[in-house]
Structure 1
């Protein structure tokens, strides 16, 4: 299902945090939001999953304004993995994941066979199949992250909204998570700090800077040395990944970009540019 953010303005405590944001994830597409800290990525995502109410603009799920839906209708369409992780659940892992089935249940209705199977499948997909009886509060940060992703998958949404989903995950589980998202081909809108992960995973990138979208397109179109210097303030070359052929960003860790030196300051001459 297509998701579109149209001319979004969000004001918090009297301050405009995002302004005129327009972005889209087409049906089955993975769209990434990238940008420096404070650029508005989380604010946009919180508006998409209705944690925040926009000052202006709207969010469309298909052709429907998300604000016209009930909470339960929204939850059957959109599942979110926010940055704010629950850490004090005195519930079992399985019970936390089973919460994802709530939008489909009548009040006081118990689980049926389908619910049991869906929860088990979700736990298996995130590598937590044997952890159902453990207390959520005893898990590591990475384990909690995977359990909350399993809860979102158990919700069986049309759209996934993920805010920094690779936080707290070790390298193996980061790779597995990205592979899982790619395999699903479920419409996904997510923010990522890891630009190489974004280049590998996303069909489309939207770059936010100071509350506005400054670039949109495929990773090859968006991730240029010039943009990396201007938006992120880093010197980098964009080369071809030797294993996957995706854009690979090689950062110069010896110093930041000189914004006044022109676009050549962002290029590392020895690197083979991405075709």
Structure 2
């Protein structure tokens, strides 16, 4: 579902941390938010899943202001995998994933076949099909990450909001997760530090720096040596990936970094 962030301003503790942000994700598009630490990526995403209320601007999902929806309506539209993730669930893996079905249930209603199918499919998609009876609290960090992604998928949202979803995942599971996102083509807003991963999975990138969007476009348009020097303060060359043809960033780890320009 088409998602638009329009002229977003967010202030925390009286300090403006995001200003004038405009981001668009078309139906089925994966829109990546990249930028240095503290650039405002997570803050923007938190407004989409209503963890933060913006000082100005709005978030539109399918043309509807997300703040004008009820909590249940919003949860049927948007599912999130935030950075702040619970690690103390004394529940089974299956019970955690089944929490994603809450927006579709009446109070105290039991699970129906549709719920069971959604939970099973979500666990299978993240490679945790055989783990339903395990305790969530006993899982590794990467396993927890995949289970929480399954919970978001079981929610069957129109829009996925993922904040650093590859954290804690080994290389294989990072590759599988990114392939899953491309295969399902669900409208997705994705904050990610790995620029090569962003280039491989995202249809469009939005570069944040100092709480503002400083560049938007396809990965090939955005990820240039000049932008990497100016925004990230690193020396790099951008070449074609030998297997996929995507932009591939080769960082110069021997050269001193550049000072990052202020904005």
Q: Shift in Å at residue 62 of structure 1? A: 1.2
User: In the aligned structure 2, how far is the partner of 1:256 from the partner of 1:178?
Assistant: 31
User: In the aligned structure 2, how far is the partner of 1:86 from the partner of 1:257?
Assistant: 36
- Is the Cα contact below 8 Å between 1:236 and 1:249 reproduced in 2? yes
User: In the aligned structure 2, how far is the partner of 1:166 from the partner of 1:119?
Assistant: 21
Partner of 2:51: 51
User: In the aligned structure 1, how far is the partner of 2:227 from the partner of 2:71?
Assistant: 39
User: In the aligned structure 2, how far is the partner of 1:126 from the partner of 1:59?
Assistant: 29
- 1:237 has 2:237 as partner: yes
Partner of 1:268: none
User: In the aligned structure 1, how far is the partner of 2:175 from the partner of 2:139?
Assistant: 20
User: In the aligned structure 1, how far is the partner of 2:123 from the partner of 2:132?
Assistant: 8
2:147 partner SS: helix
* Structure 1 residue ranges, 4+ long, deviating more than 2 angstroms after superposition: 255-260
- Is the Cα contact below 8 Å between 1:76 and 1:156 reproduced in 2? yes
Partner of 1:26: 26
Q: Shift in Å at residue 259 of structure 1? A: 4.9
* Higher Cα radius of gyration: 1
User: In the aligned structure 2, how far is the partner of 1:102 from the partner of 1:229?
Assistant: 45
1:20 partner SS: strand
User: In the aligned structure 2, how far is the partner of 1:251 from the partner of 1:186?
Assistant: 31
Partner of 2:258: 258
Please list the CA deviations of residues 29-68 of structure 1 after superposition, one character each: whole Å capped at 9, or x if unmatched: 0000000000000000001100000000000001100000
Partner of 2:37: 37
Partner of 2:115: 115
- Is the Cα contact below 8 Å between 1:233 and 1:256 reproduced in 2? no
Runs of 5+ in structure 1 lacking a partner? 261-275
Q: How does 1:1-275 map to 2 (within 5 A)?
A: 1-259=1-259
**Matched residue pairs, number?**
260
Q: Which moved more, 1:229-238 or 1:112-121?
A: 112-121
2:254 partner SS: strand
User: In the aligned structure 1, how far is the partner of 2:121 from the partner of 2:195?
Assistant: 30
TM-score of the superposed pair, with normalisation by structure 2? 0.98
Superposition CA RMSD, Å: 0.9
2:252 partner SS: strand
User: In the aligned structure 2, how far is the partner of 1:256 from the partner of 1:65?
Assistant: 46
